[in-house]
Amino acid sequence: MKILFIGGTGTISMAVTRLLAEQGHEIILLNRGSRNIELPENVRVIQCDISDEADAARKLEGMSFDCVGEFIGFVPEQTERDYRLFSGRTKQYIYISSASAYQKPPSDCVITESTPLANPYWEYSRNKIACEEYLMKLYREKGFPVTIVRPSHTYDERSVPLGVHGRNGSWQVVKRIMDGKPVIIHGDGTSLWTVTHNSDFARAYAGLVGNIHAIGQAFHITSDESVTWNQIYSIIADELGRELKACHVSSEWLAAVSDYDLEGSLIGDKACSVIFDNSKIKRAVPGFRAEVRADRGIRQTIRYILAHRECQRDDEEFDRWCDKVVSAVEQSKKAMQ
């Protein structure tokens, strides 16, 4: 198949690109070229900023596709642009939404694709919902061949899945554990969460490409495994050979004192216990099952990060903020004694 990906080099999309290229499909990426050096040799790149619609239209002139995958569409204006660019030129359009779009707080911790979409805490999620609604309206009214995919917390070898981190990603939390400093875990750390390795996500996504049962449908793709946040942080500390010094802090309090939009990412997502029912994606892609267990995937990621200096991005601002939060918690304890 001839497949065009908008983006194609992110945490999720790089795994999909590599897998489909290995399967022998013709893969073309439309992106700005920031990570193209890591691509398989048989992947073709059209270097373009798709926000320049006129330039994108010129570079795509005369081309048609079996599938177009949108990985970097976050607001309805971008999906509207995609419709103008690809209407009548692709047999399938797969849009990456987000499992954070599901109802928060959830009325039931078991999430299916029929769970309502509503997130009053996170604008990112509300924009994803708006994109979904626009695309499904196009499917119903104009036959635009849409497939919606909702990932949850998907990670790769370059970043450890965490609940609270700074703008430079996960390294500073790893470093704090290595240095024997307390790390912040939201709530009491016992809420259930699902982390999915990008290689597992890629296998399910690849099974949706060109799949007649996927048109007009929405699927989430996650692991079936649920772990607590305490378990996630304990796995990290154990792999590092360090003691975990956990500082448990209310999600609401963290959101109130943070400049990191924790209201959205915590209260609107990670603070909620969720268990994903993956029956639908398994029916559409027979044989799919997430294979990378959380402890094994996280340990592999830690080893990769420690071996690759480029993944170790210090974040002194976040480190100072963590110290302030830990100090405030300790002072409040003393004040109550």
pLDDT in tens, 44-98: 999 999 999 999 999 999 999 999 999 999 999 999 999 999 999 999 999 999 9
> Residues 145-157: what's their mean pLDDT?
97
Q: Which of 285, 292, 318, 327 is nearest to 173 (CA)?
A: 318
Among 132-146, 214-228, 256-270, the range scoring the smallest mean pLDDT is 256-270
User: What is the rounded distance in angstroms from the CA atom of residue 224 to the CA atom of residue 78?
Assistant: 32
Element containing residue 198 per DSSP (H, E): helix 198-208
**Residue 36 pLDDT > 90, yes or no?**
no
Amino acid 27: pLDDT? 97
- Looking up tokens 């073309």 gives 28
CB 297 within 8 A of CB 229: no
pLDDT at residue 38 in the model: 81
Evaluate if residue 37 carries a pLDDT over 90: no
pLDDT at 290: 98
What confidence score (pLDDT) does residue 177 get? 98
Question: Is residue 170's pLDDT more than 80?
Answer: yes
Q: DSSP labels for 221-250? A: E--S--EEHHHHHHHHHHHHT----EEEE-
Percent of the chain with pLDDT over 90: 94
Residue ranges of the chain that CATH labels 3.90.25: 158-194+226-274+293-325
Give the pLDDT score at 328: 96
* Residue with more model confidence, 281 or 35: 281
- pLDDT value for 92: 98
The pLDDT, as a whole number, for residue 336 is 86
Phi and psi at 263, nearest 5°, equal -60, -45
Give the residue-averaged pLDDT of 291-314: 97
Phi then psi dihedrals of residue 213, to 5 deg = -80, -5
Rounded to 5 degrees, what are φ and ψ at 136?
-70, -30
Nearest to 157 by CA among 18, 336, 7, 330: 18
| CATH of 158-194+226-274+293-325 given 3.90.25, 3.40.1350, 3.10.450, 1.10.287 | 3.90.25
CA distance 36 to 44: 10
For the record, the structure tokens of 70 come out as: 């949108």
| Confidence at residue 119, expressed as pLDDT on a 0 to 100 scale | 98
Domain 2-154+195-221, CATH: 3.40.50.720
Domain span(s) for CATH 3.40.50.720 in the chain: 2-154+195-221
Task: Give the model's confidence band at 35: pLDDT under 50 very low, under 70 low, under 90 confident, else very high.
Answer: confident
Rounded to 5 degrees, what angle do the CA atoms 139, 119, 76 make?
A: 40
Note the pLDDT tens digit of each residue in 265-293.
999 999 999 999 999 999 999 999 999 99
Tokens of residue 122, six digits = 């996170």
Q: How many helices (H) and strands (E) does the chain have?
A: 12, 15
Residues with Cβ within 8 Å of residue 176, at least 6 apart in sequence: 182, 183, 319, 322
How far is residue 218 from each of residues 66, 135, 304, measured CA to CA in Å?
19, 11, 33
**What SS3 class is residue 3?**
strand
Give the Cα separation of 278 and 290 in Å (integer): 10
d(CA 78, CA 84): 10
Residue located via tokens 């704090």: 176
User: Bigger pLDDT: 32 or 99?
Assistant: 99
What percent of the chain lies above the pLDDT cut of 70?
100
CA pair distance 214, 148, nearest whole angstrom: 8
290: left (phi over 0), alpha (psi -120 to 50) or beta: beta
pLDDT value for 337: 81
Closest CA to 127 of 136, 137, 117: 117
* Mean pLDDT of the residues in the chain: 96
How much is the pTM? Answer: 0.96
Report the SS3 class of residue 186: strand
Torsion of CA 87, 114, 11, 21, to 10 degrees: -50
Average pLDDT, integer, range 10-27: 96
